[in-house]
Structures are given as structure tokens and as C-alpha cells.
């Protein structure tokens, strides 16, 4: 094929994928906001058309010559091959089988129920998770945890064949296996990326160990040393979350005496009669204060801010880019609460990112890498500080920063506690896809990693029939997870860099970019790039740095780290 033919292929591929993507987004929006069998069928058909075309074009692109193509065209071809996290084999029967396997695993996960002792009927994940977050009865906690994890047994037999077929598709695109394909999204060699994330983990590990040691000791006072040993892993069912990936639900058990839990503006919002639309308008004014434009009129006309009374909808908050140009929307069953106030700021971060890169060619209309999109929304969330709330009139005065250990601890239970889990989900899958870990060792290796990285253990004996990775949606549904680990690092790197640019002095936890045009300029410079440049270029635009660093996270939590070290003095640290 001549280079001119390859250039034409890229042009036609972008045009076709844009058309199918808009069709799929419109169909998915209708399904998410009008759930019924017809909208589900239309959404599935549009999604299938898009996935089929993407796989077809990705495989064709693997045969294109690199010579004679511009750097931009070569990058587009590379991104095209990495668009989907799952590539089906060329053989039609194997392709159908792989599609069916993933659908079956997702369906099993979505429909699994378990009836705990005393329950009138089986309970879904949401109900079982509520037990994990609210109960303090270790027997009830263990039963809810074990009951949900039985879903893995239903997925276990399908998983090895899924791995085999997924790898076969990845190899047709020139990748050694699916894990290597996933790691290739990050503008470096797959093995180099694996080393990079391990480096980041080692930077934050001492902070995590201090948090782990403190929480373990406090839980031992609640449940006794027989259940929570002073120097071993923490039983996973005691941490308030089904996967022990965030511990903020047990804050009341570990909070320091007399600490400041942070501002909660729910009462003020309700007293003012704040509407869902006004909640979103607060967030829009945040972005406008950075020098960014107001949201388009279509956003206000087409978004879903409240749960409709006449139909079923998907209430999970999400930001939408319907036409990959101007039609951005938010979908959320807004409640007038402190948490939803922060969530709306996060979701609009996605919308503003989508809007900023809309002028790029279609294959570049995405974030620099998948961690950037999540990190930007979370960066905005870090700026919803007491000082910001005072400035916009939703709080009378900011609490004394000297009493902020409780606020930092609560945030660390959410952000720092997540880091090892965010890393190990894909680390486990990389070893599975590469063949380093075979089916007979799936569960043993999973718990070996969870003890090594998280310092947690299962609350009940695990046998050969168990498949506990399958109790996590992203594993059952073939969704890569590393973006969340990277986002938890990058959001603090972004936040610290913007604080430096603003000349902020004082705790990073009290810095807000609200009103900073310089922060808006840096953010917009990163967002406008989309995926047109390698991620170090985008990182440099907002931070001035070209390497992902954990220093921002460590500086943010430095006061907490000093406090934890004092609290842990004379007690075991580590696992």
C-alpha cells in the first residue's frame, strides 16, 4: 500500500468512527435516560456497530506501512489500535464466543444476589455494600463479604477461555498479549510502564504503611486482637468497603478525639432551597472564574439533573460528549447534599475537558492518557475547600487549619487507602494475560498480591472453587483499572503545581484554584491538546514537569504523615 493510500485510510477511518460514535452516544443516552427494552436494543445495536468497525479498522491499520506517513498519521494509527480494551480474534466463531463470554460474565455480575441470615430475600451488591459500610457486627460483615464474593465462582470457569481468546485478538494487532496491549496506551514500552507504576507505588508506600498501621491498631480496639492482630494483615471485611479499596466509611471508628471532620454544607444548601440546576450553576461559575467560557445553552436544555418520576434511568453521575463537538451534557439524579455538590464539580471537569479538545481530529479527542481525564475531575474536587465555600457564601468561616488532622485522615482513608488496590487489579491481570499465572493459581496469586500491596486478608478460607477477582466489576467486564491509580497520583501533582503557580503558601489542603486565571490557562493548555501529543507534553503544560511524581500527594498529606508517625510510635508498622 502506498503512503498516499494509507493517509486516505486514516482520513476515512476517522470519518467513519466519528459517525458511528455519535450514533452510539445518542443511543446510549436515550437508553440511560429512558430505560426500556426498545432503548436497550437500539443502544446495543449501535454499540455493536461501533465496536465491529473499530476492530475491523484496527486490524487493517496493523498492515499499513509506516514509511511516508506524517508523525500525526502514525500517532493516529497507533491510537486506533489501542482504542478498545478487547480485540476479538478474526475467526468469526471465536469472535462470537469471546463476545458471549464477556457478556455472560457481566450479566452474572450484574444479577448476582445473596440472602444474608435474617434477610427476607436475596440482596444485590448495593445492599450488601451497605452492610459493609454500616454494620459493626463482624459476623454480619463476614457473611455479606463472603456472600457477594461467591459470584466469582460463577465466573471462574469462563475466565481462562476469555483470557485465551482476548490474547489471540491482541496478537493479531502485533501485541504479545492483552496486558501488553493495555500498557502500550501510555507512550512507552509495556515493561517500562510497569516499572513506572511500581516506582510511583514505592514513593507512596511509606505513607500507606503509616495509615495502615494506625487503622489496624484502632480496629483492634473495636474488634479485639484475636480478629485484628497487631502485626498482620487487616481482615478485608472490616474496612467498610466490599474490596477494601476505600476506608472512609469507617472514619467514625478511627477518628482522632476532638478532630475537625470538615465542613458539610448540606444544611446550608437545603435551607436556601437550592435546586439541582443551581447546584450545577455553582460549578459552572467555578470554571468561569478560571477564565473558561460558560457552558453552551444546549447543556442546560439537554442534560438530566434530576431523577424523572415517570421512567427508569441510570442514576450514576456521568459526563457526556454526544457529538464530540458542542453537545456536552451531564446525567445525574442530583440530591441537595455536600457530596453531590463536590461530584458536580468533578463531572463538569470532564465536560470542560471534552469541550476543549473538540477542535482536534477525531482520534485525538480524548485525554492525554486515561488517567488524565479522571485526574482533572478530582483536581477540581480538591479545590472545593472551606475557603472556596466561604468565598461563594456557602460557609461563614473556614475552620482552623491547625485542627485539620481529622479532615486529612478522612481524605487519606479515601485517596491513600485506594492506591495499592488501584495498582494490583491490573498487575494481577498482566500476569494472567502473560501466562505467568495460570488458572490453578488465579485466586492464590490474587490474595498474595492483596496481602503484599494492601496488607489485607480474606475473612473466610478460600478454596479451589473461589475466584475472588471476579467479584470486582472491572475484572468481570474487561475494563482496565490502572487509570484510577494514575489519577490518584496525578490529581495531587496537578494541584500542587497550580498552587505553586498561584504563589500559594500554607497547607495544600486549603488551596483552591477558584478565581485563578493562571490555573485556568494551564489547565486549558493541557486540555486542548487532547491526545494529539504524548502525555509528558500535556503534563508539562499544566505542571512544568515531564514525569509523573507522587511528591504532590506526599506534600498534601505531610501534616497527617507526621501525626501518624507520632501515633504509631512504639507500635508495629508493616505487614
Q: Is 504 noted as a catalytic residue in this protein?
A: no
Measure the CA–CA gap between 478 and 1, rounded to whole angstroms: 34
Assign residue 385 the CATH number of its domain.
1.10.1370.30
Asked if residue 544 belongs to a domain, the reply is yes
Annotation says 528 is catalytic: no
- Is 518 among the catalytic positions? no
- Are both 533 and 504 inside the same structural domain? yes
- Is 172 among the domain residues? no
The parent domain of residue 32 ranges over 1-84
501 is catalytic: no
Residues 71 and 205 in one domain: no
From 84, 112, 129, give the residue that closes a domain: 84
Please answer whether residues 187 and 536 qualify as being in contact, where contact means their C-beta atoms are separated by less than 8 angstroms: yes
- For 18-27, 63-72, 529-538, 549-558, which range has the lowest pLDDT when averaged over its residues? 63-72
Q: How is residue 481 annotated by DSSP?
A: -
Residue with cell 436515550: 30
Give the integer Cα–Cα distance in Å for 417 and 409: 10
Q: What is the pLDDT of residue 527?
A: 98
Exactly one of 162, 353, 481, 484 is catalytic; which is it? 484
Contact present, 156 and 470 (Cβ < 8 Å): yes
pTM comes to: 0.94
Give yes or no for a contact between 102 and 96, defined as CB atoms under 8 angstroms apart.
no
d(CA 358, CA 298): 16
The length of the chain is: 575
Q: Which among 73, 284, 374, 404 is annotated as catalytic?
A: 374
Is residue 374 among the annotated active site residues?
A: yes
Under 8 Å CB-to-CB from 489, ≥6 apart: which residues?
A: 200, 204, 371, 375, 419, 548, 549, 550, 553
Alpha helical stretches, state H, 62-189:
71-81, 92-111, 125-134, 138-149, 151-156, 159-172, 178-183
Q: How far apart are CA 220 and CA 345, in angstroms?
A: 37
Helices (H), 320-404: 338-356, 370-382, 386-391
Contacts of 455 (CB under 8 A, 6+ apart): 209, 212, 216, 233, 234, 420, 574, 575
Active-site residue, selected from the candidate residues 474, 477, 518, 534: 474
Query: Is the separation of the CB atoms in 303 and 331 below 8 Å?
Result: yes
Assigned C-alpha cell, 131 = 452492610
Mean pLDDT to the nearest integer, 381-394: 94
pLDDT value, residue 63:
82
7 and 64 belong to one structural domain:
yes
Kindly name the residue from 340, 346, 373, 495 that is annotated as catalytic.
346
**Does the pLDDT value for residue 1 go beyond 60?**
no
Residue 76 sits in the same domain as residue 195: no
**Residue 280, in any domain of the structure:** yes
**What DSSP character marks residue 256?**
P
Q: Which residue has cell 474536587?
A: 381
Do 129 and 144 lie in one domain? The reply is yes
Q: 419-452 pLDDT, tens per residue?
A: 999 999 999 999 999 999 999 999 999 999 999 9
Give yes or no: residues 214 and 110 share one domain.
yes
Same-domain status, 140 and 223: yes
Asked if 218 and 147 sit in the same domain, the reply is yes
530 part of a folded domain: yes
Query: For the packed helices 482-501 and 190-223, what is the interaxial angle rounded to 10 degrees?
Result: 90
Q: State how far the Cα of 331 lies from the Cα of 343, in Å rounded to an integer.
A: 12
**Are 105 and 159 a contacting pair, CB within 8 Å?**
yes
Query: What does the block give as the cell for 482?
Result: 490502572
Same domain, 443 and 538: no
The active-site residue out of 350, 369, 373, 495 is 350
Task: Say whether both 387 and 489 belong to one domain.
Answer: yes
Tens-place pLDDT, residues 138-181? 999 999 999 999 999 999 999 999 999 999 999 999 999 999 99
Q: Which residues contact 156 (CB under 8 A, 6 or more apart)?
A: 442, 465, 466, 467, 470
249 is a catalytic site residue: no
pLDDT (tens digit per residue) in 325-374:
999 999 999 999 999 999 999 999 999 999 999 999 999 999 999 999 99
Q: Is 350 a catalytic residue?
A: yes
Quick count: other Cβ atoms within 10 Å of Cβ 98?
A: 23
The one catalytic residue in 317, 325, 398, 477 is 317
Same-domain status, 74 and 27: yes
Q: Is residue 149 within 8 Å of 237, Cβ to Cβ?
A: no
Tell me whether residue 404 is in a domain: no
- Exposure of 75 in the CB half-sphere (CA atoms within 13 A): 18
- Is there a single domain that holds both residue 278 and residue 293? yes
Give domain status of residue 405, yes or no: no
Vertex 501 angle, CA 495 and 506, to 5°: 65
Task: Tell whether 168 is covered by a domain.
Answer: no
Which of the residues 301, 316, 505, 566 is marked catalytic?
316
317 carries an active-site annotation: yes
Asked if the structure places residue 499 within a domain, the reply is yes
Q: Which of 480, 504, 531 marks a domain boundary?
A: 480
Q: 535: how many CB neighbours lie within 10 A of its CB?
A: 24
End residue of a domain, out of 480, 497, 519: 480
Domain count, the chain: 3
Amino acid at each position: 500500500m502506498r503512503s498516499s493510500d494509507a493517509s486516505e485510510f486514516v482520513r476515512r477511518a476517522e470519518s467513519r468512527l466519528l459517525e458511528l460514535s455519535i450514533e452510539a452516544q445518542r443511543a446510549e443516552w436515550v437508553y440511560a435516560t429512558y430505560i426500556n427494552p426498545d432503548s436497550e436494543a437500539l443502544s446495543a445495536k449501535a454499540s455493536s456497530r461501533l465496536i465491529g468497525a473499530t476492530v475491523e479498522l484496527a486490524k487493517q491499520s496493523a498492515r499499513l506501512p509506516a514509511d511516508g506517513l506524517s508523525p500525526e498519521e502514525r500517532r493516529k494509527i497507533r491510537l486506533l489500535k489501542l482504542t478498545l480494551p478487547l480485540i476479538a480474534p478474526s475467526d468469526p466463531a471465536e469472535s462470537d464466543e469471546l463476545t458471549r463470554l464477556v457478556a455472560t460474565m457481566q450479566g452474572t455480575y450484574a444479577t448476582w444476589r445473596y440472602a444474608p441470615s435474617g434477610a427476607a430475600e436475596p440482596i444485590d451488591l448495593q445492599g450488601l455494600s451497605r452492610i459493609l459500610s454500616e454494620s459493626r457486627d463482624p459476623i454480619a460483615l463476614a457473611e455479606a463479604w463472603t456472600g457477594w464474593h461467591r459470584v466469582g465462582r460463577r465466573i471462574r470457569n469462563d475466565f481462562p477461555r476469555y483470557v485465551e481468546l482476548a490474547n489471540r485478538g491482541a496478537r493479531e494487532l502485533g501485541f504479545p498479549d492483552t496486558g501488553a496491549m493495555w500498557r502500550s496506551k501510555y507512550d512507552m514500552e509495556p515493561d517500562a510502564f510497569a516499572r513506572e507504576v511500581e516506582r510511583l507505588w514505592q514513593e507512596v508506600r511509606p505513607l500507606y504503611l503509616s495509615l495502615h498501621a494506625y487503622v489496624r491498631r484502632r480496629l483492634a480496639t473495636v474488634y479485639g486482637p484475636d480478629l485484628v492482630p497487631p502485626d498482620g494483615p487487616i481482615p478485608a471485611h472490616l474496612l467498610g468497603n466490599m474490596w477494601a479499596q476505600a476506608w472512609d466509611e469507617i472514619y467514625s471508628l478511627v477518628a482522632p478525639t476532638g478532630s475537625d471532620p470538615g465542613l458539610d454544607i448540606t444544611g446550608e444548601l437545603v435551607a436556601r432551597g437550592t435546586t439541582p440546576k443551581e447546584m450545577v450553576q455553582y460549578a459552572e461559575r467555578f470554571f468561569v472564574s478560571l477564565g473558561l467560557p460558560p457552558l453552551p445553552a444546549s447543556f442546560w436544555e439537554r442534560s438530566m439533573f434530576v431523577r424523572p418520576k415517570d421512567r427508569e434511568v441510570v442514576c450514576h453521575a456521568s459526563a457526556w460528549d454526544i457529538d464530540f463537538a458542542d453537545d456536552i451534557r451531564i446525567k445525574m439524579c442530583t440530591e441537595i447534599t455536600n457530596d453531590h455538590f463536590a461530584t458536580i464539580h468533578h463531572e463538569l471537569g470532564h465536560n470542560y475537558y471534552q469541550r476543549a479538545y473538540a477542535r482536534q481530529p477525531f482520534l485525538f479527542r480524548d485525554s492525554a492518557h486515561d488517567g488524565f481525564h479522571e485526574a482533572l475531575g478530582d483536581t477540581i474536587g480538591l479545590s472545593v475547600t472551606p475557603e472556596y465555600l466561604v468565598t461563594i457564601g456557602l460557609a461563614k468561616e473556614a475552620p482552623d487549619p491547625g485542627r485539620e488532622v481529622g479532615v486529612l485522615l478522612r481524605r487519606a482513608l479515601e485517596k491513600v487507602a485506594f492506591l495499592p488496590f488501584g495498582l494490583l487489579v491490573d498487575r494481577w491481570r498482566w500476569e494472567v494475560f502473560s501466562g505467568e499465572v495460570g488458572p490453578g493459581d488465579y485466586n492464590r496469586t490474587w490474595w498474595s498480591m492483596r496481602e503484599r500491596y494492601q496488607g489485607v486478608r480474606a475473612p473466610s478460607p478460600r478454596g479451589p472453587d473461589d475466584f475472588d477477582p471476579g467479584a470486582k466489576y472491572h475484572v468481570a467486564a474487561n475494563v482496565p483499572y490502572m487509570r484510577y491509580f494514575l489519577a490518584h497520583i496525578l490529581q495531587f501533582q496537578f494541584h500542587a503545581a497550580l498552587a505553586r503557580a498561584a504563589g500559594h503558601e500554607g497547607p495544600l489542603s486549603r488551596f483552591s484554584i477558584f478565581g485563578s486565571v493562571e490555573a485556568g490557562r494551564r489547565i486549558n493548555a493541557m486540555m486542548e491538546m487532547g491526545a494529539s501529543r504524548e502525555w509528558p507534553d500535556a503534563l508539562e503544560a499544566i505542571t512544568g514537569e515531564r514525569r509523573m511524581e507522587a511528591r504532590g500527594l506526599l506534600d498534601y498529606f505531610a501534616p497527617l504523615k507526621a501525626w501518624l508517625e507520632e501515633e504509631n510510635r512504639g507500635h508495629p508498622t508493616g505487614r
